[in-house]
Amino acid sequence: MRASFDSRSLASLLITLFANASNATSQAATNELPDPAFQASEVAAELLRQGRFEQAVAGYQQVLEERRAEHGNQHELVARAHHNLSFALSQSGRGEAAVEAAATALSILQKVASEDPSMVIIARRHLAEIAERAGQFEFAWREIETVCAEAEERFGKTPLVGEAHEIAGRLAHRCQDRGTAQHHYQWAAAIYEKFYGMNNPTRTVRPMVGLAVVLGERGQWVKARQVTDHARAWLNAAQLQGTPQWVDVLKLGVRCLDQLDEHEPAIALLGELVSSANKAPISQSLARDVVFQSLQLGAPQLARNALETLRSAGPRDEPLPPWIAMADAEIDRLQGRPQEALHKSSLLLESTHSNGVHENCDAVHLLHGRALLACGDAEDATRELVALLRRQREMWGEDHPFLVETFLSLVSAEFQAHGTSVELIDALAMLESSMASMSPPKRARLLRGDQRSPTDRWFDAVKVAHCQLAENRANHARPALLTLERLRQAELRIADALFLEARPQEGSLGELLEQFQRDEAGHSRKEDRSQQKQRIASRLDAWLPTGAPQRSLFEMAGVDEADLETLLQGNARLVSFCWTDQQLWAFLAGNREDSDRVARIGSSSTIAALIDEIRTQGKVGSEPSSLAALGNALFAPLLDDLHGAERIHLAADGPLNTLPLDRLLAEQLLDQGARTVVSQAEGIVQLTQSRNSSHSAGSTTAP
C-alpha cells in the first residue's frame, strides 16, 4: 500500500526530517535543556547561508563528533550529521569528501530507519545530487534510477517522483543515453504539468526544455518542435515573455524550425527574441546567437535589428566587442552596401594591427577580402585572401576544413581577377582537398545550394570557375568533369549525411562522426594533422569496411580516369550537365583526344521556365510541343558532337534530374535517322554501375 505524500518542496521536507527532528528526538530522549549539538548545527546552517563554507564545514564536523560521542556510529542523528556535512563540503568544492559523507549517511539510514523508508529515499536522492555536483555522473545516475523506482512504488506519481525523473533525465543525458533521458523527461513533464501547472509555470516547463533538447539530438525534430511550442504556450499564458527560460525555449524552437527547413517561422521566432528586449535587456550572448542565426537563415535585416537593440540597451561608456563590428560589416555586404562594408572592415583591420593579433584576426581578414571583392576590387581581394590562406596553412596544414571558407572566397576572387589562370587551378584543387576532410553533414550543408546563405553562392562560383576553366583550356575539360562529378555525388548523398548528423550519436558510426566534428572545431593543428588523419583512416577501416553502405559519406566519391574510359569504350559519348545559378553547361567526353569539351547550353532561368511549363501542364508527355522545345534547347548545341555515336550516356543535374532526358535526346536523334542507345542516370558513377550490371534499365533506343 502506498503512503500518502503531499506536495511540499524537498527543501521543507529535508528541514523537517534532517534538522528539526534532530532536536525533537534528542530532547524527547533526555527531557532536558535544548540539545547543544542541535544549536551548533543551527549556527553552521547560518554560516552556510552566508556563503562562509569553510566555517560551516568546521561547524558540521563538530556536530558530527558530538553525535558520535553520544550515540556511536550507527544512529539516525549521526546519519543526519553526515548528511548536513556532505552539503557543506559540496558547497566548499570538496566533491569527493562530500560524496563520501552522503554515502555514509545513506548507509546508516538503511540500517536504522526501517520504520520510515522515505528517509532512505531522500538520502539516496541527496547522494545522487552531491555525486553529480562532484562530476561522478555514472554513479549519480545509478543512484537516482533507484530513487525513481523506490519513490514511485511508495508514493506514486507525486512531485517528489517527478523531481527524481527530472534529475535522472539530466544524468542520463550527461551519460549519452538519450533514449533513457527521453523516458525520464517525459514522465517529469507529465507529473509537473499535473501538480504544478499554472501555479508554477517555470517548474512546469523545465523538463520540457530538456525533453526537446534530447528529441532534437535523436533526430526527432518534429516532436521537439511540438514540445517547444507547448512550453512556449505555457510561458506566454503566464506572461513570462523575455525571461531566461522563455528565451531558451524560443532558441530551441528556432533550431527545430531550421532543421525542418521552415525558415520563415524560424525568422519570426528570432524576431520575437529581439522584440523581447522591450521587457528585459538583451544580453550580448543572446544578441550574438540571434545575429548569426539570422545571417544563416538569410535574414540580414533581423540581424541588424538585434545589433541595434543591443547597442541601445548597453552602457554607452563601454566599448562594444569586436564581433559586433564584424557582424555589422557583413550585414552591409549582404544588403548590397559593399563600400560601407569595406570601410568598416578596414577600420577593424587597423584595430587588429594596432592591438596585436587576437582570436578574430583571421575572420577580419576574410571579411575584408570579401568586402573588396564585393566592391569589384578582385586584385586586392586576391592578395588579401592569399595572405590569409598562407597563414592558415602554416597553422592548420594544407587540407584542414578551416580553410574551406577562405578557398571558396579565393576561387571567386581569382576567377574575377585573372580568369582561368594557373592560380585558379591550384585553388580549385586545394579546395577539393579541404572539402574531403570535412565531416559529411558539414559538407552536405555546404553543397545544399538552397541560396539561404552567402556560402551557397560562393560554392556556385566554384562550379562556374570549373566550367569556364574547361571552356578556355581544353586540356582541363576532363579533370574539371571528374571534379564536378565528385561534387555531384556529394550533393546526391546530402539526405543521408544530414540524417547521419541527426541520428543518436551512439555506436561506432556516431563516434567516428564526432571525431570529424572535433577535428573541424580546431583541436588538430598542423603538427598533429597527419597523425590524426591516420587515426581517422584506421577507425574508418575498422568500423566501416570497404563496401559498407555509409562509408561513401566520408569520402569525396566519384569516378577516376579509368572508370570514364571504360564507360566510353567503343563509339560512345558522354553528356554531363552542370547547373549553376546563371548558366546551364554541358560537358562532352568521348574516346578521342579531341572529343572532350564544355558547351554553354543557355540561361538557367530560360531552361527552368521550360521545365516549369511542362510541370504545370500535368503529366510529362502531355504536351509534345513543350517537350520538343526543351529537347531542342538542351541538345541542339550538341548534335554535331553526338553524330555517329552508337551509345550516348546522359548525366543529369539540378532540376534536370526529374526529366526523361533520354527520351528527349532520342527524339532529336530520330530526326537524323540515327540508331543510338541513350542511357540516363543522376551521375557518371550511376552510369558506370548501370553499364556493369547485367541489364540496361533506363535506356532508350532511337530506331
What burial class does residue 1 get, using C-beta atoms within 10 Å of its C-beta: 0-12 exposed, 13-18 middle, 19+ buried? Answer: exposed
C-alpha span between 493 and 253 (Å, rounded):
27
Residue carrying the nine cell digits 582537398: 433
Closest CA to 86 of 29, 130, 47: 130
Highest mean pLDDT among 32-36, 193-197, 260-264, 443-447: 193-197
Q: State the pLDDT at residue 385.
A: 92
Q: 0.85 cut: is pTM over it?
A: no
Highest mean pLDDT among 103-107, 552-556, 637-641: 103-107
Q: State the pLDDT at residue 229.
A: 94
Q: How many CB atoms neighbour CB 277 within 10 A?
A: 21
Q: State the pLDDT at residue 97.
A: 94
Q: State the pLDDT at residue 114.
A: 61
**538: its cell numbers:** 584506421
Residues contacting 644, CB < 8 A, separation 6+:
571, 674
- In the predicted model, what is the mean pLDDT of residues 65-88? 91
Q: Judge whether 577 and 586 are in contact, CB under 8 Å.
A: yes
pLDDT tens sequence across 308-318: 877 776 555 56
Q: Is the model's pLDDT at 634 over the cut of 60?
A: yes
Q: State the pLDDT at residue 421.
A: 81
Q: Is the model's pLDDT at 133 over the cut of 90?
A: yes
Highest mean pLDDT among 285-299, 364-378, 420-434, 458-472: 364-378
Q: State the pLDDT at residue 132.
A: 94
Which residue intervals of 36-177 are DSSP H helices? 36-49, 53-71, 76-91, 95-112, 117-133, 137-155, 159-174
Average pLDDT, the chain: 81
- In the predicted model, what is the mean pLDDT of residues 341-352? 88
User: 25 or 52: whose pLDDT is higher?
Assistant: 52
pLDDT tens sequence across 154-182: 888 999 999 999 999 999 999 989 899 99
CA distances from 558 to 412, 478, 579 (A): 24, 13, 18
Q: State the pLDDT at residue 100.
A: 95
- In the predicted model, what is the mean pLDDT of residues 277-296? 74
Burial profile 447-466: b = 16 or more Cβ within 10 angstroms, e = fewer? bbbeebbbbbebbbbbbbbb
User: 232 or 544: whose pLDDT is higher?
Assistant: 232
- Of 53-67, 144-158, 515-529, the one with minimum mean pLDDT is 515-529
- In the predicted model, what is the mean pLDDT of residues 413-432? 84
User: 260 or 42: whose pLDDT is higher?
Assistant: 42
C-alpha span between 315 and 88 (Å, rounded):
38
